Structure 1
Amino acid sequence: MYLLSLLTTIWIAYAAAQNPGLLVPTQQGNVVGTLVAPTVRQFLGIPYAVAGRWEAPVLPARRSAPLTADKFGDSCIQTNSPADLEFLKLTASVVPNGTESEDCMSVNVWAPSINRKQKTAVMIWIYGGAFMFGTSNLPTYDGRFIVRDNDDVTVVTFNYRLNIFGQPNAPQLVNATASQNFGLLDIDAAVQWVHDNIANFGGDPDRIILFGQSAGGAAVDAYTFAHPDSTFVKGVIEHSGSVSGGTNLLDNLPINPVSWTNVSNVVGCGLIPDAGQLACMKKVPGRTLEDAVVSTNGAFGLVQDNITNFGDVNTRAASGRFLKVPLLVGSTANEGDIFAVGDELLSPLGFAPPFLTELTADLLTQIGFTCPQGVTAQHRLDAGVTTWRYQYQAVFRDISTRPDLRAWHASELPIVFGTYNQSTEIAKTPVEIALSRYMQSAWVAFARDPQNGLRNFGWPTYAPTTNSLIQLGNFFNQSSATFGRGADIDFTCSNITTLLAISAGVASLLTP
């Protein structure tokens, strides 16, 4: 065993010598990456934290031998409910040979080769999935193309705990001085790790931005409230999610112990929320626990702990108690399409009725995404924060297994990451390639200089009644942007109660 370890170390050192920049020191020991493209270094599956079940993350132990960082770490255990699986199917988001475990806190880095500009801006990506499922290991989130096609940027992704493992909503863990939003604590730990180590990969720890989508966007927003005085993060991009926009699809309750109790009962740990129940739940195998989450239809949303996530977040937003760094915020024009179609395919109807499906989707889009993102933007404007707002309107047939969907929730991500055209049946188009390059250039411009990058790119800062809403990929300019008024798409947002009533009425028409 010792000889094998020695030979491995010698081989790693030789390989790194042949490709300078692939052997990188970190606080936990050296890591060895690969040259995934002639100008891009890739480091996968680097542990940034470890934690026992329902414990706060801590730094991993220091390694004595180099870590070969050539494959993704395990995904955190997912809630593979029928609705979640249908979403992944519709988005063609299947993790190749993906494995799941509770030992899942790892980070991935794509950095320019050492013959390119170093001390780059750093973009840290946070995936979505309603805090119930999701992983950095999806092909959509491959950071190599952003780095390959843009100078002065490094891309980082990572995994964080989810569902009952991420925020168990356990009565025994309610504590005024501790958080049980373990997924958000993981995010904090990942940002800290990147700040402390990224210089060794060629990134600049003084030029970090966060960007995320859906629950990832909400996590980015939550970070700004939990860290109002952070010196790490210089800008944020929130795709289709926030915690400060009023109406939101994500749970945000003081604690919701019902799902916890139901799962405990199913796995044989009883109904009484005492220390014995918690000890029992800690011993249940992870997959068994998650199967019980699915069978009981459990929902484990963020907890209002007033540490990582605040019960008075709207008051804090209105009074400017958050990290005041430049914001790029937005949504897609037809967020609800993928949810409406998925729900109806799983319903007793077994199909998505025309007209009703579009009406359901449009109401969901307005109530759950467009209006909240508009409120989030307004809060930043009121606090004097430099803000840009976009709406993604492009429709490309090759990025979903349902090519009839419009600009659905998450449809912009393959364009931003340059990972479109995973379909082998529908070819990419010149317009799709051009829009991807345009959006990548904009996102990278923001990352390089959050205060002025987009001004220099030619985008106006946001004001609701001016032509400053950045409309990406619409009919009038499919390969870049046109500019409209945010007030127009927010026209109904002052009548959310009416929209909710209409939505309930439409839902009743879909009941057989």
Structure 2
Amino acid sequence: MRTLCFLLTGIWTTLVVSQDSGLRVQTQQGEVLGSFVTPTVRQFLGIPYAVADRWEAPNIPPRREELFKADRFGDSCIQMNSAANLEFLNLTGSPPLNVTESENCMSVNVWSPSIDRKQRTAVMIWIYGGGFQFGTSNFPTYDGQFFVRDNDDVTLVTFNYRLNVFGQPHAPQLANSTTGVNFGLLDIDAAIQWVHDNIANFGGDPARMVLFGQSAGSAAIDLYTIAHPDDERITGVIEQSGSVSGGSQSGIGPNNSTNWNTLADAVGCGTNPDDAQLACMKQVPGRTLEDAVVNTNSNLGLVIDNITVFGDITSRVADGNFLKVLLLVGSTQHEGDIIVVGTELLSPLGFAQPLVTELLADLFTYSALTCPTGAAALVRTKAGVPAWRYHYQAVFRDISTRPDLRAWHASELPIVFGTYNQTTEIAKTPEEIALSSYIQSAWVAFARDPENGLSDFGWPTYDPTGDSLIELGNFFNKSGATFGRADQLDLVCSKSDTLATITALVSSLLLP
């Protein structure tokens, strides 16, 4: 009896302390229990924000009667572990993805300030990249605690969304869906709604929610602004190295039933696209299905469904038919380095060719990211929407670990999140630490007040003919910003179609 009393007393004390410390939080689905990741930062991991059967739109999770312990990341969505994707992760120098994967993967993570700090904070919602093929919120680079630890008036949220064949299956049987067939994008909508409905109880302000993401995550944000032109939940967006409104819509196309049928045939469901085939595909184990995607080299990008992704993106944006919230947009100076190096390492040569690597990488960088980024900023400006444009140019030895990896695609992420200290082999420089603090302060200033935050921070709004290009971490100021002219950076962008053609031609000639 005495043991039972001690046990009950301990449980009661834990619950009271948790409630008094702000670790016990009510959501619409029930209470969750978080923890302190630092003395001033509360952490809540793996909270379900939606449920869905395979290739169905997400729904609100059922209400729970029991307390949910939010002490670990939820399962990651099933990853496309192709050789190219694995090589990309290897070149980033980050730990390999060693995560539990399942289709029950729609969960959200929240880092919020302790209740003795400012509450009703701005909310930053992160959307990871990975080409809509791989990626997870359970990735060390995306740890949100440092944003919240080192900056007041901010809560940070990350979440998982469905990918590859589970996110956009290209099944002809689903082509007439009234909800859309890009299920990963529907998950993103559901996550935003969950945050809006619940974040106040975590200390966030649902009237100040900003989206930020990189690569595919950035493109998803751009697509969100086009699909939701009248949205009232989001007050600003930060797009890092990825947009569609600037004209770069690679990977977006019509439903590809050929790829679907090839995949279905590979797993024993046949090539007849009828209801029986779809029912069969729904029964194939998730990992088996994803392995078949890799083995058949199925290209399953976003699908034009005119609900989540429109076929007339360029004209819609030109007509001003998009969500007119303020924009911070940018790219890295040498985006293509990691793409080209990875391709060369996987080629029969097995090594990156000097000079050829840099030439191909620079061509790719301009045609795929630099020029579209400038166009995305310009179209906002023409529509009367203030925008800011940055160009990340920093190179640090612990991040760019090869001489042919300069300011590569995603190299800014450890600096943005303050997670550059994951490796201990190479010492962090004072400039690296200072630049991380500087960029975080800018991102938070934008989130707190998209209209005035960056102007107060000293950054000029975008004007391609003025000194408004925010150059981050370059030779002249490794720990902060210098300001240059965007029209000089974009000098060749008027020939973007020619650039893309030359890139393709040079690649075919020089890459085995």
Query: What does residue 197 of structure 2 align with?
Result: 196
CA contact (8 A) 1:356 1:506 kept: no
Q: Which residue of 2 aligns with 1:164?
A: 165
Instruction: Decide whether the 8 Å contact of 2:23 with 2:33 is kept in 1.
Output: yes
Which secondary structure does the structure 2 equivalent of 1:363 belong to? helix
* Cα deviations by residue, 1:25-76 (Å, 9 ceiling, x for unpaired): 0000100001000100000000000000000000111111111101100100
Shift of 1:424: 2.3
Task: State the Cα distance separating 1:498 from its structure 2 match.
Answer: 2.1
Corresponding residue for 1:246? 247
Moved more, 430-439 or 16-25: 16-25
State TM-score, norm by structure 1.
0.96
Separation in structure 2 between the aligned mates of residue 167 and residue 40 of structure 1, nearest angstrom: 36
CA contact (8 A) 1:173 1:180 kept: yes
* 1:15 counterpart residue number: 14
Q: Which amino acid aligns with 2:276?
A: G
Name the counterpart of 2:399.
399
The answer on whether the counterparts of 2:364 and 2:500 sit within 8 Å (CA) in structure 1 is no
The 3 A distance-change label for structure 1 pair 13 and 221 is: farther
In the superposition, relative to structure 1, how do residues 106 and 8 fare at CA in structure 2: closer, same or farther (>3 Å)?
Answer: farther
**Aligned-partner SS, 2:390:** strand
- How many pairs are equivalent? 508
Check conservation: 1:9, 1:66, Cα contact below 8 A: no
Q: How far apart are residue 206 of structure 1 and its match?
A: 0.3
Partner of 1:215: 216
Q: 175-184 or 318-327, which moves further after superposition? A: 175-184
Give aligned-pair identity as a percent: 69
Matched position secondary structure for 2:59:
coil
> 2-side partners of 1:14 and 1:368: how far apart?
56
**Residues 12 and 355 of structure 1, relative CA distance in 2, 3 Å threshold:** farther
What SS is found at the alignment partner of 2:198? helix
* Cα separation, 2, equivalents of 1:217 and 1:454: 19
Provide Cα deviations, 1:290-315, integer angstroms capped at 9, x if missing partner.
00000011121111111111110110
> 1:425: how far off?
1.2
Question: Structure 1's 108 and 176: CA in aligned 2 closer, same or farther, altered over 3 A?
Answer: closer
Determine the structure 2 residue equivalent to 1:284. Answer: 284
Label 1:149 to 1:8 Cα distance change in 2 as closer, same or farther (>3 A): farther
1:333 aligns with 2:333: yes
Aligned-pair distance for 1:423? 1.9
Contact 1:41 1:111 in 2 (8 A): yes
- What one-letter code is carried by the residue in structure 1 that aligns with 2:295? S
Partner of residue 186, structure 1? 187
Between the aligned partners of 2:303 and 2:192, the Cα distance in structure 1 is 21
1:47 aligned partner: 48
Partner residue, 2:301: 301
* TM superposition score normalised by structure 2: 0.96
RMSD after superposition: 1.7
CA distance in 1 between counterparts of 2:254 and 2:8 reads 50
Is 1:346 matched with 2:346? yes
**Which residue identity lines up with residue 498 of structure 2 in the other structure?**
T
Alignment partner, residue 64 of structure 2? 63
In structure 2, the partner of 1:359 is: 359
Aligned-partner residue type, residue 206 of structure 2? P
Q: CA deviation at 1:493?
A: 1.0
Deviations 1:164-215 (A, max 9, x none): 0001011110016231100000000000000000000000000000000000
SS in 2 for 1:282: helix
What is the CA-CA distance between 1:13 and the residue it aligns to? Answer: 5.0
Match in the other structure for 1:258: 258
2:400–2:407 contact (8 Å) kept in structure 1: no
Partner of 1:29: 30
Superposed displacement of residue 247, structure 1: 2.7
Is 2:130 the partner of 1:122?
no
Cα deviation for residue 16 of structure 1 reads 4.1
Alignment-mate amino acid for residue 17 of structure 1: V
* Deviation by residue 1:399-426 (Cα, 9 ceiling, x = unmatched): 2553641000011111010000322211
Compared with structure 1, are the counterparts of its residues 13 and 357 closer, same or farther at alpha carbon in structure 2 (3 Å cutoff)?
farther
Residues 10/406 of structure 1: CA separation in 2 closer, same or farther (3 Å cut): farther
When residues 9 and 401 of structure 1 are mapped into structure 2, their CA distance, relative to the original with a 3 A threshold, is: farther
Partner of 1:487 in structure 2? 487
Decide whether the 8 Å contact of 2:357 with 2:404 is kept in 1: no
Any gaps of 5 or more consecutive residues in structure 2? none
Verify the 8 A CA contact 1:110 1:156 in the aligned structure 2: yes
In structure 1, the residue matched to 2:456 is 456
String of CA shifts for 1:460-496, please: whole Å, max 9, x gaps.
Answer: 0001111001000000001000001111111111112
Q: Which runs of 5+ in 1 are unaligned?
A: none
Residues 1:150 and 2:141 aligned together: no
CA distance in 2, matches of 1:396, 1:511: 28
Give 1:177's aligned residue.
178
Q: 3-state SS of the aligned residue for 1:354?
A: coil
The answer to whether the aligner puts 1:100 opposite 2:101 as a matched pair is yes
Q: CA deviation at 1:10?
A: 7.5
Deviation at 1:7, TM superposition (A): 10
State the AA in 1 paired with 2:340: A
Q: Structure 2 vs 1, CA of residues 511 and 451 (structure 1 numbering), >3 Å: closer, same or farther?
A: closer
Seen in structure 2, the aligned counterparts of structure 1 residues 285 and 477 have a Cα distance that, compared at 3 Å, is same
357-366 vs 13-22, which deviates more? 13-22
Aligned residues of 1:328 and 1:389 also touching (Cα < 8 A): yes
- CA distance in 2 between counterparts of 1:256 and 1:134 reads 23
CA contact (8 A) 2:212 2:240 kept: yes
CA apart distance, 1:285: 0.2
The amino acid across from 1:112 in the alignment is P
Partner Cα distance (1:401, 1:473) in 2: 17
Shift of the 278–141 alpha-carbon distance from structure 1 to 2, 3 Å rule, reads: same
Q: Distance in 2 between matches of 1:13 and 1:101?
A: 34
Residue type at the aligned position of 1:328:
L
> What amino acid is aligned across from residue 53 of structure 1 in structure 2?
R
